[in-house]
Structure 1
Amino acid sequence: MTKTRLYMGVSAALLAAASVTFFAKSAPAADPAEVVVASYGGAFQDAQTKAFFEPYAKATGAKVTGTTGTGYPKVKAMEQTGNISWDVVSAESPAFVNEVKDDLLQPIDYSVVKADGIPAEFRKQYGVGYIKFGTNLAWSKEKFPNGVTAAQFFDPRVKARRVMPSDPTYSLEFALMGDGVKPADLYPLDVDRAFKVIDRVKDQIIGYKGASDQQALIQQGEIDLAYIANGRVNDAIKAGANWAYSWDASLSDTEFWAVMKGAPHAAEAMKFINFAVQPDQQAELTRQIPYGPTNVDALKLLDPAVAKDLPSNPDNAKLGAVLNSEWWHDNYESVKARWATYIMQ
Structure 2
Amino acid sequence: MVDNVNHVVHVVNHLLALQAVKAKRPETRSSWCNAVPRFDLYLCLITSSRSSGARNRRWKMFDTLKFSAVRRHLLAVAGAALIAPQVWAADPSTVTVAGYGGGLQDALIATLWKPAAEKAGLKLMTESHDGQPAVRLQVQSGKPAWDAIHIGANDCAALAKQGMLEPLDYSVIDAKGVPSLARDKNWIATNSYSVVMGWRTDKFKEGPKSWKEFWDVKKFPGRRALSVAPDEMLEVALLADGVPRAQLYPLDIKRGLASLEKIKPYVAVWWTSGAQSAQLIKDGEVDLIAIWSSRVDSVVKDKAPVAYTYEDGLLGYGCMAILKGAGNVSGAQKLIANSISAPIQARIPTMMGYYGPTNSLAFEQPGVPADALSSSNMSPANRARQTLMDARWWGEHIGDVQEDYKELIAR
- The Cα of 1:103 is off from its aligned counterpart by 0.8
| 2:305 is the counterpart of 1:238 | no
Q: Is the 8 A contact 1:292 1:310 kept in 2?
A: yes
Residues 89 and 166 of structure 1: CA distance in aligned 2, closer, same or farther (over 3 Å): farther
Q: What is the CA deviation profile of residues 259-278 of structure 1, one whole-angstrom value per residue up to 9, with x for unaligned ones?
A: 22244664553343234223
Residues 314 and 90 of structure 1: CA distance in aligned 2, closer, same or farther (over 3 Å): same
Q: What is the CA deviation profile of residues 25-46 of structure 1, one whole-angstrom value per residue up to 9, with x for unaligned ones?
A: xxxxx9993523213745x444
Separation in structure 2 between the aligned mates of residue 83 and residue 240 of structure 1, nearest angstrom:
49
Question: Alignment partner for residue 95 of structure 1, among 155, 166, 177?
Answer: 155
Greater strand percent: which structure? Answer: 1
Residues 224 and 75 of structure 1: CA distance in aligned 2, closer, same or farther (over 3 Å): farther
* RMSD value, Cα: 3.5
| 2:274 is the counterpart of 1:211 | yes
Question: Alignment partner for residue 174 of structure 2, among 109, 112, 115?
Answer: 115
Structure of larger gyration radius: 1
- The Cα of 1:312 is off from its aligned counterpart by 3.8
Within a 5 Å distance, the mapping from 1:55-204 to structure 2 comes to 55=115, 62-65=123-126, 67=128, 69-70=130-131, 72=132, 74-76=134-136, 79=139, 84=144, 86-110=146-170, 113-115=172-174, 118-119=177-178, 121=180, 124-149=184-209, 150-156=211-217, 158-203=220-265, 204=267
Residues 200 and 120 of structure 1: CA distance in aligned 2, closer, same or farther (over 3 Å): closer
Q: Which runs of 5+ in 2 are unaligned?
A: 1-90
Q: Is the 8 A contact 2:228 2:272 kept in 1?
A: yes
Residue type at the aligned position of 1:177? L
Separation in structure 1 between the aligned mates of residue 99 and residue 194 of structure 2, nearest angstrom:
20
Indicate the SS of the match to 1:231: helix
Residue type at the aligned position of 1:295? N
Q: TM-score w.r.t. structure 1 length? A: 0.74
Within a 5 Å distance, the mapping from 1:294-305 to structure 2 comes to 294-301=358-365, 302-305=368-371
| 2:339 is the counterpart of 1:273 | no
Residues 239 and 51 of structure 1: CA distance in aligned 2, closer, same or farther (over 3 Å): farther
Indicate the SS of the match to 1:292: coil
- The Cα of 1:68 is off from its aligned counterpart by 5.3
Residues 320 and 275 of structure 1: CA distance in aligned 2, closer, same or farther (over 3 Å): closer
Separation in structure 2 between the aligned mates of residue 307 and residue 338 of structure 1, nearest angstrom:
40
Separation in structure 2 between the aligned mates of residue 306 and residue 198 of structure 1, nearest angstrom:
35
Indicate the SS of the match to 2:231: helix
Match of 1:335 in 2: 401
Residue type at the aligned position of 1:142? D
Residues 240 and 184 of structure 1: CA distance in aligned 2, closer, same or farther (over 3 Å): same
Q: Is the 8 A contact 2:360 2:379 kept in 1?
A: no
- The Cα of 1:329 is off from its aligned counterpart by 3.8
Q: Which runs of 5+ in 1 are unaligned?
A: 1-29
- The Cα of 1:97 is off from its aligned counterpart by 2.0
Residues 320 and 114 of structure 1: CA distance in aligned 2, closer, same or farther (over 3 Å): closer
Q: Is the 8 A contact 1:135 1:230 kept in 2?
A: yes
Residues 143 and 264 of structure 1: CA distance in aligned 2, closer, same or farther (over 3 Å): farther
Separation in structure 2 between the aligned mates of residue 123 and residue 177 of structure 1, nearest angstrom:
24
Residues 276 and 213 of structure 1: CA distance in aligned 2, closer, same or farther (over 3 Å): farther
- The Cα of 1:62 is off from its aligned counterpart by 3.2
Separation in structure 2 between the aligned mates of residue 86 and residue 58 of structure 1, nearest angstrom:
18
Match of 2:99 in 1: 38
Separation in structure 2 between the aligned mates of residue 120 and residue 251 of structure 1, nearest angstrom:
14
Residues 300 and 202 of structure 1: CA distance in aligned 2, closer, same or farther (over 3 Å): same
Question: Alignment partner for residue 292 of structure 1, among 356, 360, 365?
Answer: 356
Residue type at the aligned position of 1:162? R
- The Cα of 1:105 is off from its aligned counterpart by 0.6
Residues 313 and 274 of structure 1: CA distance in aligned 2, closer, same or farther (over 3 Å): closer
- The Cα of 1:92 is off from its aligned counterpart by 3.6
Number of residue equivalences = 313
Match of 1:7 in 2: none
- The percent identity for this pair of structures is 26
Residues 225 and 280 of structure 1: CA distance in aligned 2, closer, same or farther (over 3 Å): same
Of 171-180 and 229-238, more deviation after overlay is shown by: 229-238
- The Cα of 1:224 is off from its aligned counterpart by 3.1
Q: Is the 8 A contact 1:163 1:205 kept in 2?
A: yes
Separation in structure 2 between the aligned mates of residue 40 and residue 162 of structure 1, nearest angstrom:
30
